[in-house]
Amino acid sequence: MNAAVIVFPGSNCDRDAVCALRDHTAQKVYRVWHRETALPRVDLVVLPGGFSYGDYLRSGAIAARSPIMASIKAHADRGGLVVGICNGFQVLTEAHLLPGALMRNAGLKFLCKSAKLRVENTQTAFTRAYADQAQTDIPIAHHDGNYCADEDTLKRLEDEGQITFRYLDNPNGSAHDIAGITNRAGNVLGMMPHPERAIDPLTGETGGLGFFRSLAGALT
């Protein structure tokens, strides 16, 4: 399996994502600058965390209009896997690859802490390795992680099993405690927690390992 990690001005989790993919998932990982117009031949595209364009206008809004996004949309339309983590989730909503929006956290404070999550749907390419693990801990680090959507969208997410991760303590006010969702086809995931920061017992939590093991299983 090959993967691409997209780098925007202000990305700061791209190296962590590359290392996690190389160690646990992908045979080859490309770092792709956002000004490129074509992806290499890959199975998975990751939009990493950070503060693309300094979060000006709205978090992810400018990055969502980068030249590479047309190729990412085409990759998703073909059924290729796409993951947006934290700022990447914000970019995916701004690009309309996922519904809803990420707003300022309730309390208007930046949050950097471990988050307790329930794995809501273990039948996706991103979560199957959690089948025997109903809960996990994965860190968050965001100011605009409050997931919002209209009631019809929230009902559809619930009814169609598109909610993948749910906060147990809802630190940011997200509707329906949402921490991560997929698109209807199930091949595009956005999540605010950082699984790439929770894969090594030497540095703390390992709750993100199931995420990368799921991807490895989905693409072998």
CB 46 within 8 A of CB 92: no
CB 212 within 8 A of CB 199: yes
d(CA 52, CA 9): 5
Residue carrying structure tokens 């199957």: 128
> So which residues are the catalytic ones?
86, 194, 196
Picking from 5, 21, 7, 8, the residue whose alpha carbon sits closest to that of residue 196 is 21
Q: Which helix (H) or strand (E) holds 156?
A: helix 151-159
> DSSP of 56-96, one letter per residue?
-SSTTTTGGGSTTHHHHHHHHHTT-EEEEETHHHHHHHHTT
Task: Please report, for residues 72, 162, 182, 196, the alpha-carbon distance to residue 179 in angstroms, rounded to integers and kept in the order given.
Answer: 22, 11, 11, 15
Single-letter code of the amino acid located at 15 = R
Q: What share of the chain is helix, strand, coil (3-state, %, to 5)?
A: 30, 25, 45
